[in-house]
């Protein structure tokens, strides 16, 4: 245990300060939230279509990690299927429905009410999470509207391939 803690401390100290902060915030959130079955224990009632600030935790390269926004597209057994998102302008400029048809995993949703900047979804990073990872609800896309329907179709195409979608 001591060896692990020593290596972990060295690992954290080797990171840029901004990443150290995200790593520590995620670790602290896990300590405080891992015992909760759902976000209702935290007084947060999440619905399909909500855009939430989420602690995704640690991640590898090309995975959504730490604290980012995400769109809730489904719920099942206290878990949420979320699509991570970013407001990074370089990533936005590459979105399939914005400029680059080869970037089918990026879907531009614009500036949603409740958020400060335009955003793009990482369709290929969707995943089920424990709803206890939700920090706040910040926006909403109507799940019965055309934008949400298009997002859901794009997610299905990413997961199953366009040939599997009827």
Beta-carbon neighbour count of residue 97 at 10 Å? 15
Residue 102: its pLDDT value, please?
62
Residue 10: its pLDDT value, please?
95
The answer to whether position 29 is within a domain reads: no
The answer to whether position 103 is within a domain reads: yes
pLDDT digits (tens, 9 = 90+) for 70-123: 999 999 988 999 999 998 888 888 886 766 566 678 899 999 999 999 999 999
The answer to whether position 20 is within a domain reads: no
Q: What is the pTM of this model?
A: 0.88
What value does the mean pLDDT of the chain take? 90
The answer to whether position 101 is within a domain reads: yes
SS3 127: strand
Task: Answer whether 156's CB lies under 8 Å from 165's CB.
Answer: yes
SS3 75: strand
The answer to whether position 10 is within a domain reads: no
Q: Is 125's pLDDT higher than 90?
A: yes
Range of the domain at 99: 37-164
The answer to whether position 83 is within a domain reads: yes
The answer to whether position 5 is within a domain reads: no
Domains identified in the chain, total number:
1
CATH number for the domain spanning 80: value is 2.30.30.110
The dihedrals phi and psi of 104, each to the nearest 5 degrees, come to -65, -15
């Amino acid at each position: 245990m001591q060896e692990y803690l020593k290596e972990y401390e060295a690992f954290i100290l080797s990171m840029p300060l901004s990443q150290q902060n995200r790593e520590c915030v995620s670790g602290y959130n896990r300590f405080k939230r891992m015992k909760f079955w759902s976000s209702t224990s935290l007084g947060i009632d999440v619905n399909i279509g909500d855009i939430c600030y989420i602690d995704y935790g640690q991640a590898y390269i090309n995975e959504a990690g730490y604290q980012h926004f995400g769109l809730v597209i489904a719920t099942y057994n206290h878990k949420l299927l979320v699509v991570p998102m970013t407001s990074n302008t370089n990533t936005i400029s590459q979105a399939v429905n914005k400029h680059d048809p080869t970037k089918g995993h990026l879907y531009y949703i614009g500036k949603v009410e409740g958020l400060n900047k335009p955003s793009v979804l990482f369709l290929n990073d969707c995943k089920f999470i424990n709803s206890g990872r939700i920090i706040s609800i910040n926006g909403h896309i109507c799940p019965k509207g055309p934008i949400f329907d298009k997002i859901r179709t794009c997610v299905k195409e990413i997961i199953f391939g366009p040939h599997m979608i009827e």
